[in-house]
């Protein structure tokens, strides 16, 4: 099994989303001897955000790109190759201002490429990153019921669009609501992990 582990928290060792993803990865490795793990810490090693220069490079035919443009596209190519090779993708997605960190959004921007990870057909878009199991760890300061959750629908839409439709969300809520509520939120996440990876 090839496991791609994506973290995006700015909290380093104190990150709850990273604690959860580390636990998921450990259980996947324990259940799959010989598994390989590729870890990308997007907070410590952020991928360049999509900008005018990057977009221009992507829309320039490969044979016509400058060396600088080719180097920029190669950065995205490396991320795409990692997710293509993965059997399981484990993503840490802390909630920042009701969304995902910009570093994680930059990762999604990099791996979403028409004709490579998705394509447009006569019946609509088709995701090409199929056959992968995805685990998404969300850590948030408050409590957001499903009908009022601003983050999960967005992440789910991105994953589904790319063809990664087999996903499990692991929530660790109430992390800014005091020690008791925080501990309860962590326990909720741990219980979800146990159920998902039993």
The binding site for FMN consists of 9, 15-17, 95-98
- Please give the C-alpha separations between residue 171 and each of 46, 120, 176, in angstroms, as whole numbers: 24, 32, 14
Contact 172, 188 (CB under 8 A): yes
Q: For residue 91, give both structure tokens.
A: 């993503």
User: What is the C-alpha separation between 172 and 169, in angstroms, rounded?
Assistant: 10
Note whether 144 and 177 are within 8 A (CB).
no
Let me know: does 12 contact 77? Beta carbons within 8 Å: no
> Which residue numbers belong to the known binding site?
9, 15-17, 95-98
* Nearest-angstrom CA–CA distance, 109 and 114: 11
- Please tell me what DSSP assigns to residue 86: -
Tokens of 54: 């990057």
């Amino acid at each position: 099994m090839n496991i791609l582990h994506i973290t995006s928290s700015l909290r380093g060792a104190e990150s709850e989303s990273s604690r959860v993803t580390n636990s998921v990865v450990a259980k996947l490795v324990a259940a799959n001897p010989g598994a390989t793990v590729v870890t990308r810490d997007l907070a410590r090693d952020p991928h360049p955000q999509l900008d005018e220069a990057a977009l221009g490079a992507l829309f320039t035919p490969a044979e016509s790109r400058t060396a600088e443009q080719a180097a920029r596209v190669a950065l995205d190519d490396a991320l795409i190759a990692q997710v293509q090779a993965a059997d399981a993708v484990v993503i840490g997605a802390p909630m920042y201002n009701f969304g995902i960190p910009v570093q994680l959004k930059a990762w999604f921007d990099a791996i979403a490429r028409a004709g490579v990870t998705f394509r447009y057909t006569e019946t609509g878009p088709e995701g090409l990153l199929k056959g992968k199991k995805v685990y998404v760890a969300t850590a948030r300061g408050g409590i957001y019921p499903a009908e009022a959750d601003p983050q999960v629908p967005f992440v789910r839409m991105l994953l589904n669009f790319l063809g990664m439709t087999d996903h499990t969300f692991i929530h660790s809520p109430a992390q800014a609501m005091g020690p008791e509520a925080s501990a309860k939120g962590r326990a909720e996440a741990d219980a979800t992990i146990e159920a998902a990876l039993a």
